[in-house]
Structures are given as C-alpha cells and as structure tokens.
Amino acid sequence: MSKKIYLCLAHMSGQEMKYIQEAFDTNWVVPLGPNVNGFESDLKEFVGQNKEVVALSSGTAAVHLALLACGVGVGDEVIAQSFTFCASTNPIVYLGATPILIDSEPDTWNMDPALMEEAIKDRIEKTGRKPRAIVVVYLYGMPPKIDEIMAVAAKYDIPVVEDAAEGFGSKYKGQISSTFGDYGVLSFNGNKMITTSGGGALICPTEEAKRTIMWYATQAREAYPYYQHEAIGYNYRMSNICAGIGRGQMTIVQEHLDHHRHIAQLYAEAFAQVDGITFHHEMEGMESNYWLSTILLDEQLKVRNEHLAYAEGIHEAVGGAAGVVHMGATIHTDCEPNRNVEAMRICLDHADIESRPLWKPMHKQPVYRLAPCYTNGVSEALFKKGLCLPSGPCVTDDDCRRIIETIKGSIL
C-alpha cells in the first residue's frame, strides 16, 4: 500500500506549540492577545509596502469586511472574477449586493481587464450607476494582470479588493500580492500556503482603515462603559490560539514558497515532454507561488477507463477534508469536466493520489444563475480541461515522480 498523496496538506514548523503553550500559560485563550499582535506584525513585515494588517477568523470574513469597507451595501453591484472559489463572491451576496461576473483571459486564468472595462461601461449604461467595488483573484497563486486591472479601476474610480487567498507570497513585477488593491485578502485555511487551522487576514491601506476593520470584526462597539452599538458588527477576529499557529508557520513561509515552486518545476519539466498535457506557467514578470500546480488535458487525449468516468455518483467531497456535502441529485450537471479529465482523476485516485478539477466558474453555478455575467468562454473551457495536482509541502520529489508516472501510464 502506497502512502496517500494529498493536494496541499498543512505542514508544521515545530514552533507552533511554543506559541500555543505561551497563550495557555498567560491565559490568553481569547480572540485577541500577544499571538494575534505578533502574527499581525509578522504579516506586516512580510507584505511590506507600508500596509496595515488585521488577523481575522477566515479569508471569507476578510472578503466580507473589505467589501463593507468599500461601502458595498444592499442593491449595489460588485464586479467579480467568475473563475474562483465561492468565497470570493458569496460575501457580495451576504451584503445584499449583486455580483457582476467577469470571465478570465487565457494567460493567467484571472479576470480579463478588457472584458472588465466593457462590463463596467455596460453596467453604467444599464443602471446609471457604477459598480461599487472590484474583486480580482490570484487563481492557484497566479498573479492577475494587475497593472491593467488597476488602470481600469482608476479610470472609473472603483476600489479594488485583491483576493490573494491562494496567492500568499506571489509577486507581480517584484511587488508582493495583496498590496496593489485598496484591500488585500489572505487565507490561512488548512490547505493554503500557510495555515492557522482556519483563519485569514485583511491587508489595509491605512491605520484608520485598520481600526475600522477591527471595529467591525469585534461587533462594532462604541466607547461607553456599557455595550452601545450604532452599526451592525461581526465576530470575525482571529483567536490567539490560531494566531500562535500562524506565528509558527511564518518561521517556514519561505521554505513553503520554495517547495511549491520546486514541485511546479518538476511538473513543468515532465509535462513539457508529454503530448496532450499542458502545464499552466506563470507569465514573464510574474512570480506565482504555485499554491497548486495545474495542467490541461487536450480533448483528444485518450485516458484509460474513460467508460468509468461518471459511471457512478460521488459520495463525499473530493478531498474529503473539505467537509459536508449534499449528495448530488444527478451524476451529471450541464457543465462538467471532460470525460478524459474525470477518468484521469479516477486513475490517480486509484493510485492514492488526490487531484481535483479546476474551480467551476461562478457564472456556471446554479446559485448564481441570476447574476449578470460577461463571458468569453475562457474559464468554462479551462474548467472542462483542467486538473489540480498535489503541490503542498508534504509532497516529496519521489511523490512527484510517482504522480507523473501515474499520469503518463494512464494515457492510452
């Protein structure tokens, strides 16, 4: 029996328990304290650019509070990248606003700046108002065409939320992700570049913005001897225990970044030799953290046991750790990965290797069927052809070779 290889398992530095023990010894077992302050200051140093940082309970909470700080409210429209995980767009709906979903360009797989501008113009024409904010994503760690995105945003004077939940440590022309937009979102979920078990952070432009975010994250209390509330707040602050894990993780963040790039390099070299498989590369001037390495399978590629693909329903979340899922009512949906991609996923699964299709674009999700979308076919085509491969700090060179050999051996 071979060891199971997962997409991106958390990996500890060994320092985490020291910080957690300190929290217990000093009785700081609450959502504030020395570890929260210490983790924020580590992050502040890591991102630089004179930014401020607020540690929060999740990346989703960070998106939510960023949109709130941009003034998003009931009836507003928010421009969002369609090709992403639902945590980029769900908070728009939490606020009673409508996501305007924008397709991707083929180079980085992130929001297409030209299509985004078209959409902004069209929304202004149709509604008489401009969208309230823009949410752009670092898909799988790959930086978006941020210069172009920021130029369009500046032209129409719309604030930008950079969802760098997957892109911690990625760079664009040498500048680190999450520092270009008005706000930057980080996630420290168990499967991200570093983890706090669950958690996130919001990168803020000023001290004042930081104070506002902290205020919202701690139930929006006014300065009185009793609890006085003049706005609706949230319970979104990071716990001092989780922040202790984060401080431990920050001691090995560079090793994690180096390791993900090393794994990506091994895949890139191997798949350059394989007809019908394309590795997703970073562009010139960009530095992806390669949170997950991804490949595309040509439609013509023949994979072993394609007749088994979609032969039966899935009984648990792919990558089980993801938690509770509803049992699908049907085996097929109207937009799903090609048969050869699903067959490859099954071949890998039978070899104890976890892989996963790319994110299904939000404009193809039933829950967003009413959201206006501006599409060019790029993200839908990628979704049908793509697969995420194990890329985390626990994936060894030997694992990588086994994954590559399994993939090659599954091609007919």
Q: Which residues bind ligand PLP (CB under 6 A)?
A: 58-60, 84-85, 87-88, 137, 163, 165-166, 187, 189, 200
- Amino acid at the residue 293: S
In the complex, minimum distance from the CB of residue 10 to ligand PLP, in angstroms, rounded to a whole number: 13
Contact 162, 136 (CB under 8 A): yes
Q: How far apart are CA 367 and CA 360, in angstroms?
A: 12
| Beta carbon nearer to ligand PLP, 123 or 192 | 192
| Beta carbon nearer to ligand PLP, 66 or 270 | 66
Q: How far apart are CA 59 and CA 271, in angstroms?
A: 33
In the complex, minimum distance from the CB of residue 412 to ligand PLP, in angstroms, rounded to a whole number: 34
In the complex, minimum distance from the CB of residue 339 to ligand PLP, in angstroms, rounded to a whole number: 27
Q: How far apart are CA 394 and CA 10, in angstroms?
A: 8
Q: Is 375 helix (H, G, I), strand (E, B) or coil?
A: coil
| Beta carbon nearer to ligand PLP, 137 or 373 | 137
In the complex, minimum distance from the CB of residue 163 to ligand PLP, in angstroms, rounded to a whole number: 5
| Beta carbon nearer to ligand PLP, 163 or 354 | 163
Q: What phi and psi, each to the nearest 5 degrees, are found at residue 26?
A: -100, 5
| Beta carbon nearer to ligand PLP, 141 or 271 | 141
> β-strands 77-81, 133-137: how paired?
parallel
In the complex, minimum distance from the CB of residue 399 to ligand PLP, in angstroms, rounded to a whole number: 23
Rg (CA), the chain: 21
Q: How far apart are CA 200 and CA 181, in angstroms?
A: 17
* Bridge partner list, 104: 111
In the complex, minimum distance from the CB of residue 68 to ligand PLP, in angstroms, rounded to a whole number: 16
**How would DSSP label each residue in 304-367?**
TTGGGTTSS---S-TTGGG---PPPSSS--SS---HHHHHHHHHHHHTTB--EEPPPPGGGSGG
- Per-position b or e across 234-272, b if 16+ CB within 10 A of its CB: bebbbbbbbbbbbbbbbebbeebbebbbebbebbbebbe
**Helical residues (DSSP H) of 26-145, grouped into ranges:** 34-47, 59-69, 90-94, 113-127
In the complex, minimum distance from the CB of residue 177 to ligand PLP, in angstroms, rounded to a whole number: 12
In the complex, minimum distance from the CB of residue 108 to ligand PLP, in angstroms, rounded to a whole number: 14
| Beta carbon nearer to ligand PLP, 136 or 264 | 136
| Beta carbon nearer to ligand PLP, 28 or 109 | 109
In the complex, minimum distance from the CB of residue 143 to ligand PLP, in angstroms, rounded to a whole number: 13
| Beta carbon nearer to ligand PLP, 187 or 294 | 187
What one-character DSSP code corresponds to residue 165? Answer: T
| Beta carbon nearer to ligand PLP, 188 or 267 | 188
The residue number whose beta carbon is nearest to ligand PLP equals: 59
- Amino acid at the residue 286: M
What one-character DSSP code corresponds to residue 60? Answer: H
* Bridge partner list, 353: 5
